[in-house]
Amino acid sequence: MSAFAAVATGTNRPDRRAGARPPAPRSVADSGLNHSQLIELIGKVLFLQGRMRLGDLADYLCLRPSVLTEPLTFMRSERMVEIHRGGLTENDNEYQLTDSGRDRAVEAMQRCQYAGPAPVTLEDYCRIVMAQSLEHQTFDAANVRDAFRSIVLDPDVVDQIGSAMNSGRAILLYGPAGSGKTFLAEHLSSLLEGAILVPHAITVGGEIIQVFDPLVHTLAERAEAAGSSVIRADSDERWVVCKRPFVLTGGELTLSMLDLQFDPATRFYQAPPHMKANGGMFVVDDLGRQLVAPRDLMNRWIVPLDRRRDYLALHSGFKFVVPFDMTVVFSTNLRPDQLADEAFLRRFGYKIHLGPMDLPSYRQVFTDACVDLEVDFDPQAFDWLIHERHRKTRRPLLACYPRDLIGRVRDFAIYSGEPAAIDPVSLSRAWSTYFVSTDETEPIGAGPADAPV
């Protein structure tokens, strides 16, 4: 079955050993690559690294030595490489480029400067992504509630989140700024279980696309013990075992970022952020504040959100399909009807509102922040804050305020060299530096110490 058919039909069966690499290829044919690709890759690595033992070269390319034997034999016959120093075993033979080999390597570098682990094929990439798809995960009430046990959150919202995660649809979190949407979106990634396989790179249409990104992908295994490649390379090391990724984008998001990123200097591609998020979560934070309009973004993602596949194109015009297998979360301060019409809003799937907290929840967040920031909690000072600041200014009880206000109390205490403590004076001073006051005559730090509680 072709890669396109595998993605379109979703017929791949889940791999019950999530994170288990496929067997290591033992020949060029097993690798899915052709001789020309391997010859160019070997030449570029030797050009950059100099002399290398066969075993070290195999480790560098994440391939077994047996895969490299055939192309190296051809390169020797064409006088592109030579054995600089023989070893006791074939793995110990040290190879270097000849003058002709260096010339060929320079030509290859001008076409593409990628010289890292060998890529995998697009078909193998699609097959593995679908085998470890999020569609095979389910989220029950007990586990979801346990995951959010340490967070002060409305139980109804927690249940909505659990249902939304099971739907496989996009999630829209909306509400006023400071209600905890971004924090909640980041915490959602803790619900994703298991490890996945991420390739260092894939090859498409003769081009290289780098997929593994250490800024996105976190290793889920310890480095294997050093040793002979023949002994330890029993699995395909072109795949990296990672935790399910979490990608967060904000106001910097543009439509061009959702396409392949071609570097004209290095002559190879970087996968777009949502492709790096396959198998995990992709969050578009502060929707409506991006350089791209929400309607344009949704137009770009109509097919991916509905069909769970995306279409990408090389600069040569060659187009191909990749899986779009992730939980997409949008967060916004705007009302849903301000973003798009009803037809577009249907693409969001679940719409979850986060608003102001009730007083008991706000008090709990406040006391937790005091513990975290090592500031003693004073119930009378808290009551003063509610009555004299929140209620008189009609400022809602939003989740972001306690930590921010207590942080300012601590900052002033460090500056003055005094113990951090909350009281009407310190809270008033923190409040005045946090919010824009409409009364410019009110002195900074003013706060009736004898105000009724």
Burial class (CB in 10 A: 0-12, 13-18, 19+), 232: middle
- pLDDT the model gives residue 6: 44
Span 298-320, mean pLDDT? 91
Mean pLDDT over all residues of the chain?
Answer: 88
Write down the pTM of the prediction: 0.85
- pLDDT the model gives residue 303: 87
Per-residue pLDDT band at 8 (split at 50, 70, 90): very low
String of DSSP letters for 294-348: HHHHHHHHHHHHHHSEEEEE-TTS-EEEEE--SEEEEEESS-HHHH--HHHHGGG
- pLDDT the model gives residue 17: 47
- pLDDT the model gives residue 438: 52
Kindly give, in sequence order, each residue whose CB lies less than 8 Å from that of residue 12, ignoring residues fewer than 6 positions away: 6, 127, 130, 131, 133
Domains and CATH numbers, the chain: 34-115 (1.10.10.10), 123-135+146-353 (3.40.50.300), 359-434 (1.10.8)
pLDDT surpassing 90 at residue 410: yes
Q: What tokens does 198 get? A: 């991420």
Per-residue pLDDT band at 226 (split at 50, 70, 90): very low
Name the phi and psi angles at 307, rounded to 5. -105, -10
pLDDT surpassing 60 at residue 287: yes
How far is residue 121's CA from residue 208's CA, in Å, rounded to a whole number?
A: 10
- pLDDT the model gives residue 447: 43
- pLDDT the model gives residue 221: 66
Residue that is written with structure tokens 């998020």 in the block: 277
Query: Residue 274: which of 327, 320, 317 has the closest Cα?
Result: 327
pLDDT surpassing 80 at residue 142: yes
pLDDT surpassing 60 at residue 362: yes
Span 152-157, mean pLDDT? 93
Burial class (CB in 10 A: 0-12, 13-18, 19+), 259: middle
Q: Percent of the chain at pLDDT above 90?
A: 72
pLDDT surpassing 50 at residue 320: yes
Is the CA virtual torsion 391, 393, 395, 400 positive or negative? negative
H helical segments located in 88-177: 99-111, 122-131, 141-147, 155-167
pLDDT surpassing 50 at residue 241: yes
- pLDDT the model gives residue 232: 47
* Contact assessment for residue 324 and residue 276, using Cβ atoms and an 8 Å cutoff: no
Between residues 99 and 349, which one has the greater pLDDT? 99
Is the CA virtual torsion 373, 377, 383, 385 positive or negative? negative
- pLDDT the model gives residue 349: 80
pLDDT tens-digit profile of 59-70? Answer: 999 999 999 999
How far is residue 374's CA from residue 406's CA, in Å, rounded to a whole number?
A: 10
- pLDDT the model gives residue 101: 96
pLDDT surpassing 50 at residue 350: yes
- Using CA atoms, how far residue 205 sits from 114, 122, 202, 351, 442, in Å, is 15, 9, 10, 40, 68
Is the CA virtual torsion 61, 63, 64, 69 positive or negative? negative
- pLDDT the model gives residue 437: 63
Q: Percent of the chain at pLDDT above 70?
A: 89
- Which residues is 312 bridged to in the sheet? 320
pLDDT surpassing 80 at residue 378: yes
DSSP for residue 240: E
- pLDDT the model gives residue 439: 53
Range of weakest confidence among 75-89, 391-405, 431-445: 431-445
Span 127-140, mean pLDDT? 92
- pLDDT the model gives residue 234: 85
- pLDDT the model gives residue 11: 40
How far is residue 325's CA from residue 135's CA, in Å, rounded to a whole number?
A: 8
Per-residue pLDDT band at 228 (split at 50, 70, 90): very low
- pLDDT the model gives residue 341: 75
Helix (H) or strand (E) holding 263: strand 261-263
- pLDDT the model gives residue 18: 55
Span 314-342, mean pLDDT? 90
